[in-house]
Amino acid sequence: MRLIALLAAALLAHDAAGGLLDFTAAELRAIERHGPWPPPAPRDPSNRVSGNAEAIAFGELLFFDTRLSPNGAMSCGRCHQPGRAWTDGRRTPGGVIGATGRDALTRNTPTLWNAGFGRWFGWGGGSDTIWSFSLRPIRHPLEMGSSAAHMARTLRADPELACRYRRVFGEAGKPDEALLVDVVKAIAAFVETLVSARSPFDEFRDALARGDRDAAARYPLAAQRGLRRFVGEGNCSVCHFGPAFSNGEFGDIGVPFFVPSGVDSGRYAGIQRLRADPHNLLGRFNDRPGDAGAARTRHVQLQPRNFGEFKVPGLRNVAKTAPYMHDGSLATLSDVVKHYSELDENRLHTEGERILRPLRLSPQASADLVAFLESLSDTGRYVSGAPSRCASRRVQ
Amino acid sequence: MMMRRILAAVLLAAGAPVLACDSPGADYARLESPRFVLWMATRPAPVPIGSEFAIDAVLCAKGATSADAVGFDAWMPAHRHGMNSRPSVRALDGGRWRAEGYLFHMPGRWQFTFEIDTASGRERLTHDVELD
């Protein structure tokens, strides 16, 4: 009895002083795959202003400009708030838009951190670029409720916006529709720059990679144990793969998909929407139609199992993006871990060897997994990059 | 289905039953069934996880059999699920095929499958890769 108490005390002391688990070679390899971070800045070949500094600054202004919505109340930034890790912090944006019940939007506002590394956008992946996705909230009556005509009018009437448009795209004399596509390409150029900064996990991963045990031992033991489960028994890395902690595809983890109007079929409807979208990569608005990137849209395959699949979210900064899941149904990271721990296998429709099994975690093991997820947070803050005015104040 | 037909048409047009069965290059793997040999190489190699890749393939019949169609695909046998994409196939010169649009979205064991239809039935060739 006394021995056990002593041992426990020793373990605790060890925990407080740091230390390093004896990771196996396979674990080390799996951990290393979640970096390095940050990767090279994402670029979108279908968007000719991707990476263009003037376009990024213009896009940033547009992102926060409520005049883009006819009632002057809504902007991208109202739902994707920089202070809330580019989410609205709500289950769904109902409160933001002032609609509830059947009329409300039924999906949770995802973070835009690291969106630029994605292949598909929206929880169902109904769009293949950020710019084509962005047409949706602009036009959606419950979001910005805008139109090409309203957008073009606003842009042409405001000297600052008109000046910035001209600098990036040339004269604004095009048809309204073409102007709107330019506008979303500038916004997308801005969104792509939202790459999260380094986290404690990255320091740990790099220390391990260069064999610096002392530096690695600064990473809390609880997070190390959680990480071990994440890449090991939990199988989490299979879907939350790579440096951004997402394989960019879709999965079914048994989150119910009933909504007031029926079901949200997720990826299934997403592929149908993608194929029907004249602004997809196969359409005429792609600035580099021959680019290999468009192949993903040509080759995508609609399968019955897509029903009820949702996008695998990246996990960087996940501690700042509550609530969780496509419907915002889980309030905290502990709730998410509980979901994986108590998984209802009947809800998952897989035929083969299961990737997900209920983990039946002890309270300690659950806390470890949460500690690991929390270690994916950066300490960076968004700093506006918009440079000084474009239009001269005198010219009106 | 589409690619089966395209490939069939090209194969027949080329009058393809007998091609040299030598290795097209050091990076090609050799697959064999009773009546066919298929060489394949991934582009790029090794296969990346989570991004698109292509394969180059050369198919030859050991005897006078001709292939009516070849289906290119891949799956994870353990999880019994396939890819989220469907490759498309086109002919390169020298009897080679380029199949584009493969994407392996998770680590683990994947299996390339080639289903060759002939007048007297189907033959299946497979090649396993372990991604970690």
Mean pLDDT of A300-324: 96
Buried b (16+ CB within 10 A) or exposed e, A221-252: bbbbbbbbbbbeebbbbbbbbbbbbbbbbbbb
Task: List strand residue ranges (DSSP E) for B23-95, in order.
Answer: 29-32, 36-43, 53-61, 67-76, 81-82, 88-91
Question: Is the domain of A127 the same as that of A219?
Answer: no
Give pLDDT, residue A353.
63
Question: Is the domain of A330 the same as that of A362?
Answer: yes
Name the H helices within A192-277. 200-209, 213-216, 221-231, 236-239, 267-276
Structural domain includes residue B3 = no
Question: Is the domain of A359 the same as that of A231?
Answer: yes
Both structure tokens of A77: 């930034």
Q: How confident is the model at residue A258 (pLDDT cuts 50, 70, 90)?
A: confident
Find the range with the poorest average confidence among A16-30, A116-130, A180-194, A305-319. Answer: A16-30
Give pLDDT, residue A98.
72
- Domain with residue B104: its CATH number is 2.60.40.1930
B27 touches chain A (CB under 8 A): no
Chain B closest CA to A298's CA: distance in Å? 8
pLDDT surpasses 70 at A104 = no
- Coil, helix or strand for A243? coil
Q: What is d(CA A303, CA A270) in angstroms, rounded to the nearest whole number?
A: 12
Chain A closest CA to B63's CA: distance in Å? 34
Chain A closest CA to B113's CA: distance in Å? 17
B80 touches chain A (CB under 8 A): yes
Structural domain includes residue A392 = no
Q: What is d(CA A230, CA A226) in angstroms, rounded to the nearest whole number?
A: 6
CB pairs under 8 A between A and B: 71
Name every chain B residue with its beta carbon within 8 A of the beta carbon of A352. 76-81
Give pLDDT, residue A11.
47
A262 touches chain B (CB under 8 A): no
A353 touches chain B (CB under 8 A): yes
Mean pLDDT of A173-188: 96
Give the residue, A262 or A68, on which the prediction is more confident.
A68
- Report residue B83 CA to chain centroid gap: 14
Question: Is the domain of A318 the same as that of A207?
Answer: yes
Question: Is the domain of A100 the same as that of A142?
Answer: yes
- Report residue A29 CA to chain centroid gap: 25
A355 touches chain B (CB under 8 A): yes
Structural domain includes residue A11 = no
Assess contact for A66 and A137: CB atoms under 8 A: no
Angle at the Cα of A212 from the Cα atoms of A207 and A214, rounded to 5 degrees: 105
pLDDT tens per residue, range A107-156: 999 999 999 999 999 999 999 999 999 999 999 988 899 999 999 999 99
To the nearest 10 degrees (0 to 180), the angle between helices A221-231 and A200-209 is 80
Structural domain includes residue A19 = no
Assess contact for A344 and A254: CB atoms under 8 A: yes
Radius of gyration of chain A from its Cα atoms, rounded to whole angstroms: 23
Question: Is the domain of A120 the same as that of A249?
Answer: no
B6 touches chain A (CB under 8 A): no
Find the range with the poorest average confidence among A147-151, A180-184, A380-384. Answer: A380-384
Question: Is the domain of A159 the same as that of A249?
Answer: no
Question: Is the domain of A325 the same as that of A210?
Answer: yes
Q: Domain total for chain A?
A: 2
Question: Is the domain of A260 the same as that of A317?
Answer: yes
A302 touches chain B (CB under 8 A): no
Q: What is d(CA A331, CA A322) in angstroms, rounded to the nearest whole number?
A: 6
Helix (H) or strand (E) holding A310: strand A310-311
Asked if B52 lies within 8 A of A237 by C-beta distance, the reply is no
Name every chain A residue with its beta carbon within 8 A of the beta carbon of B82. 303
Write the ipTM: 0.82
Place of tokens 């592929």: A271
Assess contact for A43 and A192: CB atoms under 8 A: yes
pLDDT surpasses 60 at A44 = yes
- Coil, helix or strand for A304? helix
Angle at the Cα of A284 from the Cα atoms of A279 and A287, rounded to 5 degrees: 95
Question: Is the domain of A233 the same as that of A187?
Answer: no
Structural domain includes residue A228 = yes
* Host domain of residue B115: 10-131
Mean pLDDT (chain A, rounded): 90
Question: Is the domain of A120 the same as that of A254?
Answer: no
Give pLDDT, residue A349.
67
pLDDT surpasses 90 at A366 = yes
Structural domain includes residue A304 = no
Q: What is d(CA A120, CA B34) in angstroms, rounded to the nearest whole number?
A: 42
The beta-carbon neighbor of B79 closest among A29, A301, A355 is A355
Nearest CA in chain A to B83: A301
Structural domain includes residue A218 = yes
Asked if B106 lies within 8 A of A247 by C-beta distance, the reply is yes
* Host domain of residue A324: 25-38+198-264+311-375
The sign of the CA dihedral A318, A321, A322, A325 is: negative
Structural domain includes residue A208 = yes
Give the residue, A390 or A335, on which the prediction is more confident.
A335
A194 touches chain B (CB under 8 A): no
Question: Is the domain of A137 the same as that of A257?
Answer: no
B44 touches chain A (CB under 8 A): no
Name every chain B residue with its beta carbon within 8 A of the beta carbon of A301. 83-86
Mean pLDDT of B104-113: 95
Percent of chain A at pLDDT above 70? 91
Mean pLDDT of A81-87: 96
Give pLDDT, residue A259.
82
The beta-carbon neighbor of A301 closest among B78, B84, B106 is B84
B101 touches chain A (CB under 8 A): yes
Q: What is d(CA B116, CA A53) in angstroms, rounded to the nearest whole number?
A: 52
- Domain with residue A187: its CATH number is 1.10.760.10
Asked if B79 lies within 8 A of A249 by C-beta distance, the reply is no
SS3 content of chain B, % helix, strand, coil (to 5): 10, 50, 40
Nearest CA in chain A to B84: A301
Select from A192, A221, A240 the last residue of a domain: A192
